[in-house]
């Protein structure tokens, strides 16, 4: 993975209730940033990323991490390495804040988002979700265990949740040009709920796919925007 450098201090973050993404100021001098901090209160965003080992949730975490660094946020991102990577349940805890972050783990009941690339896995971390939190999940099941529940029952459990965006990321990714970009569809679907500037997320996607060529970059950006449009439409319908 490419390692990036940058300042990690400053402002911005999540307003799960506010679904409009305001145009953020470009990275300014620290004074402007500080004013920004004073205006906002408790800017803090905790995200549980969930999936199955090998599904590549870490690329989503990397994009969000790069965008957070670009916006001078504090960041902690704990991930799963080792044995469970072999097709087991994996999770990453991503914490963004304008104040120093202590714990690498998210306390239960405090995550603003569960972002899952697999429907059953989205249910596994519901204890982490705050009362106002959203579940953003892919609907395509990844069945590598014999006792996987009926996919319809998984969907029924999801539908019972108060705030959920369920998206067939593979289908959307196929339309965007490559089924492999389903992770970027999921990131796009989550992006309206994460108060990071759109251009920072786009730039981070360019950065991580750049070495694979312009075509791959474009497919992933298209997938990201398709996922984002899906969520925005859903949000508008809810209004």
Partner 1 sequence: MHKKLLLGVEAIGQGAIDGGISGVYAYPGTPSTEITEYIQENDTAIERNLHRTWSANEKTAMEAALGMSYAGKRTLVCMKHVGLNVAADVFMNIAITGINGGMVVAVADDPSMHSSQNEQDSRYYGNFAMVPVLEPSNQQEAYDMTIAGLDLSEKTGVPVMIRITTRLAHSRSGIILVSSPRIENCLSLPADPLQFVLLPSNARKRYKNLLALQAQFLKISEESIFNTFEEGTDKSLGIVCCGIAYNYFRENFPEKSPYPYIKISHYPLPENHLKRLESQVDEILVLEEGYPLVEEQLKGFFERGKKIHGRLDGTLPRAGELTPDLVAAALKIDKPVLPNLPGILVNRPPALCKGCGHHDTYRALNEVMGEYGKGKVFSDIGCYTLGALPPYNSIYSCVDMGASVTMAKGAADAGLFPSVAVIGDSTFTHSGITGLLDAVNEKSNMVLIIGDNESISMTGGQDSSAFGRIEAICEGVGVLPEHIHVLESLPRNHDLLVSLLRKEIAYNGVSVIIPRRECIQKMARRKR
Q: For residues 16, 21, 23 and 24, what is the CA-based torsion angle, rounded to 10 degrees?
A: 30
21-29, 32-40, 51-59, 229-237 -> range binding partner 1 (CB under 8 A): 51-59
Q: Does the footprint of partner 1 cover residue 209 (CB under 8 A)?
A: no
- Interface residue with partner 1, options 11, 14, 36, 52 (CB under 8 A): 52
Angle between helices 169-176 and 214-238 (to 10 degrees): 130
- Interface residue with partner 1, options 38, 39, 41, 81 (CB under 8 A): 81
Decide: 188 and 223 in contact? Cβ < 8 Å: yes
Name the minimum Å distance from CB 229 to partner 1: 29
Pairwise CA distance, residues 239 & 228, whole Å: 17
Decide: 44 and 97 in contact? Cβ < 8 Å: yes
Q: Does the footprint of partner 1 cover residue 148 (CB under 8 A)?
A: yes
Name the minimum Å distance from CB 239 to partner 1: 26
- Interface residue with partner 1, options 25, 26, 40, 109 (CB under 8 A): 109
Name the minimum Å distance from CB 131 to partner 1: 8
- Provide the 3-class DSSP secondary structure of residue 135: strand
Q: Does the footprint of partner 1 cover residue 104 (CB under 8 A)?
A: yes
Q: Does the footprint of partner 1 cover residue 111 (CB under 8 A)?
A: no
Nearer to partner 1, 21 or 123 (CB): 123
Q: Does the footprint of partner 1 cover residue 155 (CB under 8 A)?
A: no
Pairwise CA distance, residues 207 & 231, whole Å: 24
Name the minimum Å distance from CB 156 to partner 1: 9
User: Cα 90 to chain center, whole Å?
Assistant: 15
Pairwise CA distance, residues 61 & 190, whole Å: 12
Nearer to partner 1, 148 or 175 (CB): 148
């Amino acid at each position: 993975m490419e390692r990036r450098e940058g300042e990690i201090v400053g402002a911005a973050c999540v307003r799960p209730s506010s679904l409009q993404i305001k145009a953020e100021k470009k990275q300014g001098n620290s004074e402007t940033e500080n004013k920004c901090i004073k205006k906002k209160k408790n800017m803090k965003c905790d995200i549980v990323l969930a999936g199955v080992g090998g599904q590549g949730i870490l690329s989503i975490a990397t994009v969000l991490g790069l965008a957070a660094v670009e916006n001078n946020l504090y960041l902690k991102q704990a991930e799963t390495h080792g044995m469970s990577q072999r097709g087991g349940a994996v999770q990453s805890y991503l914490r963004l804040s304008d104040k120093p972050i202590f714990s690498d783990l998210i306390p239960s009941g405090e995550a603003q988002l569960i972002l899952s690339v697999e429907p059953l896995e989205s249910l596994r971390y519901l204890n982490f979700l705050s009362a106002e939190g959203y579940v953003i999940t892919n609907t395509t099941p990844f069945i590598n265990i014999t006792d996987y529940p009926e996919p319809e029952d998984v969907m029924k459990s999801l539908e019972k949740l108060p705030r959920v965006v369920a998206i067939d990321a593979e289908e959307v990714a196929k339309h965007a040009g490559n089924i492999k970009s389903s992770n970027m569809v999921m990131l796009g679907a989550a992006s309206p709920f994460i108060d990071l500037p759109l251009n920072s997320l786009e730039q981070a996607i360019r950065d991580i796919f750049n070495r694979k060529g312009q075509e791959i970059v474009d497919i992933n950006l298209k997938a990201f925007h398709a996922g984002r449009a899906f969520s925005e439409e859903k949000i508008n319908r809810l209004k």
